[in-house]
Structure 1
């Protein structure tokens, strides 16, 4: 064995073998590292090659909003992101970054401003479209404007109803904008839809601001919502009313006066109905229940076809007094409604006259004259011959009367027959 190792050729062969083994080992390790490096390089390309565009990103302006107004700021922009997939996914889903325009150090006037961003991962490349905007900075002006009302579908109210002048609360609002925009404002309107309306309409309405061309101007309005009341009414007429007296006062009493603060009743309804009315009837007072001076609230009846009356009740002040009497002697009895071509002759009394006693409160009868009281008989449709007819009395209000006789005898003849 020792001789084998003493042989130079054997040692050379062993050395060569060891050298080959060392070379092979180093070469294999180098190739492995190259492959790992290539693998890592490939992975790096995959991680840093993603790209996306985020749309509708709002632009936040920074400036003195209390004293200045800025125009030219776009509502939104597009943001292109390039870089690591994980960072892009987070930005796209959370949208937790901000695009802003820093105007805090700019003076009054027009400027070109580069948009900036923040809260985006450092490993992302960012581009904004548009990246530069043109803005105009002006001093803020506040001015009061009166609010008008646009009535929509006014011709579609229920039949017979009309709209009255709208009432707006508050009556005026404040608009804050640049002086140039303030000068462009032509009108400030609230809108109310009247379709199908048949009673007063109360609505909350947003304010719309218009320029001279009728285009809407987006401005700061305070308040932005107002209350609008639109009275809806039907055609109306004011009518007098008649008081109907039922029953009788206690014996010895008489009506001194019946007064009402209300002089007319307003009726509402279709024109063809209310135009036929001359007065309101049926406001009734039961005299049998009155023993002294009294104030009554009496319902106003609703005439047929009328939708509403105002007021719905009237207050009547009724004054009574001890009854007195006055006698008018030999009052003539008038014949009314005698058929053409006929004549009438009074048989009982032959004179065609009668005494009448007037009963009433002292303050009422003291001013009544004989000419204020009329006696008459109604001869409507009576034929020739003798008839007993009732004597009727026409006189002032708040009196009663008594007659010598309730009926008289008359004779009716045709004119051609003459009078016997």
Structure 2
């Protein structure tokens, strides 16, 4: 033994052993258990790992409910691996919805753990989900104007600036039946001009007027327009004429493409407007049949007219003439208590020549021509009274050189006229014009009590 201990190699081994013992005495904590020093594994608990869905066909279904939404998991692994996966997002808990059907169902949970970590416990291991079928339906879009325009202006009906007023709404099947209104709102508060191309959000409301925030709308926004104008009114269009046609031509017809226009102005002035006659056709510019454009000019009290132009379909033809034999002369404007008698011509009739297009003259009826002698304000005595000829549109009176358009009328006291008639009857004669009763509706206008005001104009062109 002594010889072994004295050997150099033995002494070296003993020295190494003693050095290791001394190092251990210095570095090892006496309060630390041997198991804690030598173990490299640990256990970790995640109290609320979020459940995520996988494989949901979002074009057909929507996940309306899921219970629970988080789970508790306990895992174990090397300390180094646990430290690497320290976030809750590193532990994925999934529910597979690839084969799920509409309705309520219980499905297993799938846990995807980081590398090197093992599951000890997961609670719960299943989840209850509710899937609803998704529907997409077209709806008519209603545009609503909000607010009040500036004083003296009114807002028209809002409209979508696009080819269609329809939108598509996507909702769960049960919610689709609750849709009450699909609308876009545009603000016109204080506006004094038309709101053009305003972008508005499309909102879906249920039958109780509550916004359905889960609705998916296509398109989400639309461009709308709201006319903001002064008050307006729609009235009949009456075309006026100026100038004269070239020699040898007469109007057959003038037909506007529209028969009404919209006029804008102050309300009190609009109340008085019954017809719009601001469209004027210059006949001197008509050379042949065809379409002509005339502007709708503002008239007194009217600020704007729509449309700004009117298309007229004008038909012309060569001028023809026609003579109306024995056209009766009517007397208007006789003062009460007086009687008017035509002395010349004795029969109270004249021959009248008129001109116009052949088709217009052929269709003319005798009762459409009125020849009137106006004696309003004339007292007793014999008077030469000019005649007024009332003819239809596009017909003219032709006055030949030397042809008088006058008649000789004697105005008598009614009593004297009756005495003259009685005397004529006694000798078997007939007065030149039989006096009517004091109140007559015959249309001859002899008695002033029921005579017209005598205002007759030539409407021929």
1:372 maps onto 2:368 in alignment:
yes
Normalising by structure 1, we get a TM-score of 0.62
1:295 to 1:183, Cα distance in 2 relative to 1, 3 A: closer
The answer (yes or no) to whether the contact 2:63–2:129 under 8 Å persists in 1 is yes
1:335 counterpart (332, 337, 345): 332
Shift in Å, 1:275: 5.1
CA contact (8 A) 1:71 1:135 kept: no
Corresponding residue for 1:265? Answer: 260
Aligned to 1:101: 95
Is residue 109 of structure 2 the alignment partner of residue 110 of structure 1? no
Question: Deviation of residue 174 (structure 1)?
Answer: 6.8
- What is the distance in 1 between the residues matched to 2:74 and 2:336? 112
TM-score normalised per structure 2? 0.57
Q: Could you say which residue in structure 2 is the equivalent of 1:290?
A: 286
1:22-59 CA distance string (max 9 Å, x none): 9x988874453136998xx99xxxxx9999999xx874
1:76/1:170 CA distance change after superposition, 3 Å: farther
1:163 is the counterpart of 2:157? yes
2:237 corresponding residue in structure 1: 241
Are the counterparts in 2 of residues 109 and 137 from structure 1 also a CA contact under 8 Å?
Answer: yes
Contact 1:187–1:209 (CA under 8 A) maintained in structure 2:
yes
| Secondary structure of the structure 1 residue equivalent to 2:359 | helix
- Aligned positions, number: 380
Q: Does residue 320 in structure 1 map to residue 343 in structure 2?
A: no
Q: Which moved more, 1:344-353 or 1:187-196?
A: 344-353
Tell me the residue number matched to 2:178. 186
Separation in structure 2 between the aligned mates of residue 136 and residue 353 of structure 1, nearest angstrom: 103
Please report how far the alpha carbon of residue 360 of structure 1 lies from its aligned counterpart in structure 2 after TM superposition. 1.7
Distance in 2 of aligned mates of 1:340 and 1:81: 120
Contact 1:81–1:88 (Cα < 8 Å) also in 2:
no
Q: Once structures 1 and 2 are overlaid, which stretch shifts more, 284-293 or 107-116?
A: 107-116
| 2:55 matches 1:63 | yes
**Cα distance change on mapping 1:201 and 1:188 into 2, 3 Å:** farther
Q: Which structure 1 segments of 5+ residues have no match? A: 1-21, 43-47
Q: What is the CA distance between 1:193 and its match in structure 2?
A: 0.8
CA drift of 1:394 comes to 1.0
User: In structure 2, how many angstroms separate the alpha carbons of the residues matched to 1:193 and 1:352?
Assistant: 73
* 2:65 counterpart of 1:72: yes
Question: For 2:248 and 2:211, how far apart are their aligned partners in 1?
Answer: 80
> In structure 2, do the counterparts of structure 1 residues 369 and 125 end up closer, same or farther at CA, with 3 Å as the change threshold?
closer
**1:329-364 deviations in Å (ceiling 9; x for gaps):** 56415333x565666677987987654321222222
Which deviations, in whole Å up to 9, do the C-alpha atoms of 1:56-88 show, x marking residues without a partner?
Answer: x8743123527765443479769999988x958
- Asked if residue 145 in structure 1 is aligned to residue 142 in structure 2, the reply is no
Q: Distance in 2 between matches of 1:313 and 1:290?
A: 16
What runs of 5+ residues in structure 2 fail to find an aligned partner?
A: 1-15, 37-41, 419-461
**Alignment check: 8 A CA contact 1:154 1:163 kept:** no
User: 1:321 Cα shift?
Assistant: 1.3
* Residue 136 of structure 1, aligned match among 129, 140, 147: 129
Residue aligning to 2:27: 33
> Secondary structure of the equivalent of 2:52?
strand
